[in-house]
Amino acid sequence: MRSPGGNRAWVTAAVTTSCVALGAGVAMGAIPSAIMLAAALPLVVGAGGIVLLDNRARHNVSISLPLVICFVGGLNWTADVQGMSSLSLAGLFRVVCYASLVVWLLLLEFRGDRPLRTLLAGGSGALALWGVWALVSAAWSVVPVWTAYRALEFIAALCGVTVSVVSVRDEDDVRRLVSTVWVLVLLLLSSVVAGLVIAPSQALRHEVGALGVQIQGVLPALGSNGVGDYAAIVFLVSMNRLFAKEGRPQLYWLGLVVSAALLLGSQSRSPLGTLLVAAGVLLALYTRWDLAVAAGLAGAVVALTPAAEALRAFLARGQGALELATFSGRVTIFWRPAFIAISEKLVVGWGAFTGGRYVVTPTLGGSANLLGSSSVDNVYLEVLLGTGFVGLAMILVAVWRTLTSLAVATRLQSSPALVTVAKECFAVALFIVIRGLFATNSIVWVPFLPFMVLVVVADYLRRTPGDTALEVARG
């Protein structure tokens, strides 16, 4: 017979899953408005009943639901700034999602939970400061409405993450907070697998690289690099939990194998290379020198056999030496024009979220269209373009504080559970920070949920009572 605690967990999971399914359908336009309303009513009533009748379920929902709302809201991409005056149902749903997070935070503040104090402290404070600076930059932005909208969206998402962390009381809650994000990432990766089964003609790009095919997401649409990014995160989480000997190892082995297959199938080189770095760091954190040596020997064997040529062909992905030397044309097509634009407004930038899309890309003509990009493929250059050195300094403070806090927290000896969480978060944070050198969709761009959660977890570990990461650093 299942325990009451088990029942609460299942009910909480059912509510969360229902929210994800309903919200994803609405955000992607797959659910008509009539069905949405019919499904929303019992969902809201059921969730309300849980909140009123079960304290533990209410507590679990208060940690997970804000993250779910933030995640679901980010599934829909409103790329047309002119469409702001006449939002579609999907666009309106996105606005409502993020607005509800701000309202939630304000209600907690009025209740006395003081989430604003949490929001404005540590790394999350640096992110919040950047969000305010991004909003202020609308005053001189080349597209003020777009800058203001995206800045408000960023601030709202950070409010949602803060609402979740305010409900954290103990180590189990920290694990629940982190695991919720990984489950959402896994759901998105699962949609890629579903796309391969349901619509293989859309999920596979043909005549690409040595494999001949390249995996991408269908519903929601997800580029090959996005598939590689999410697969790498699942790989790191599975690897960490296998090392920590937690839960059911069969599930983590499955996660390891499937994520590796999707990563290779996406033919995403920068996620793969960054994963090797983060995985190497994770091996060092667990002092698994045996596996590190074995991996090194395996690499040496491959380099000395005919398999080396096949590996080079896979990594080249059909590109020539010039394209490889310029990181698939990023240096010549995007980064050089970006530095020219940066030099013109070095201190304050052109307005947050506008640099790549509205300043650099229009000057590129067919080159940008050929690569299907509307950014400069570097989140730090995008921040510099949009908010200048002032904004970049704020982001680098958040990055530095997060990495250092997590690194120090891996030395917590009195709390093995938090040590495991810290190692997992540090590896993923390192992956995201390095990947930012070759991608825009991280840290301050949608999807920014994983990095935001890592920031607040790092802040939590830094101020945890007892044998804290901060005290270890001082000792």
Secondary structure letter of residue 222 according to DSSP: B
Give residue-wise pLDDT tens across range 330-385.
555 677 888 888 888 889 889 988 887 888 877 665 554 444 456 778 889 899 99
Q: What's the rounded Cα separation, in Å, for the pair 57 and 458?
A: 25
SS3 label, residue 342: helix
Q: List the structure tokens of 473.
A: 């650093």
b vs e for 294-320, b when ≥16 Cβ sit within 10 Å of the residue's Cβ?
A: eeeeeeeeeeeeeeeeeeeeeeebeee
Q: What's the rounded Cα separation, in Å, for the pair 209 and 267?
A: 8
Secondary structure letter of residue 439 according to DSSP: -
Stretch 250-274: mean pLDDT, rounded?
88
**Residue 14, pLDDT score:** 57
Q: Directed axis angle between helix 55-73 and helix 33-53, to 10°?
A: 150
Q: List the structure tokens of 436.
A: 């930012």
Q: What's the rounded Cα separation, in Å, for the pair 252 and 258?
A: 10
427 pLDDT tier (thresholds 50, 70, 90)? very high
* pLDDT top residue among 432 and 19: 432
217 pLDDT tier (thresholds 50, 70, 90)? confident
**Residue 403, pLDDT score:** 93
SS3 label, residue 459: helix
Lowest mean pLDDT among 86-100, 178-192, 229-243, 431-445: 86-100
pTM of the entire predicted model: 0.83
**Residue 315, pLDDT score:** 64
Give residue-wise pLDDT tens across range 5-57.
445 555 555 555 555 555 555 555 554 444 444 454 455 555 555 545 456 66
311 pLDDT tier (thresholds 50, 70, 90)? low
Q: List the structure tokens of 200.
A: 């293989």
* pLDDT top residue among 324 and 104: 104
**Residue 278, pLDDT score:** 93
For residues 345 and 132, is the Cβ–Cβ distance under 8 A?
Answer: no
* pLDDT top residue among 375 and 197: 197
Q: What's the rounded Cα separation, in Å, for the pair 449 and 439?
A: 16
Phi, psi of 67, rounded to the nearest 5 degrees: -70, -40
Stretch 448-461: mean pLDDT, rounded?
88
Give residue-wise pLDDT tens across range 88-137.
666 777 788 888 888 888 888 888 888 888 888 888 999 999 999 999 99
Domain ranges (residues) in the chain: 1-113, 114-474
Stretch 158-167: mean pLDDT, rounded?
89
Torsion of CA 215, 217, 218, 219, to 10 degrees: 160
Instruction: Provide, rounded to the nearest whole percent, the portion of the chain with pLDDT above 90.
Output: 22
Plot region of 3 (φ>0 → left; ψ -120 to 50 → alpha; else → beta): beta
**Residue 232, pLDDT score:** 93
- Round the average pLDDT of the chain to a whole number and report it: 77
Q: What's the rounded Cα separation, in Å, for the pair 226 and 209?
A: 17
For 358-395, the three-class secondary structure string (H helix, E strand, C coil) is HHHHHHCCHHHHHHCCCCCCCHHHHHHHHHHHHHHHHH
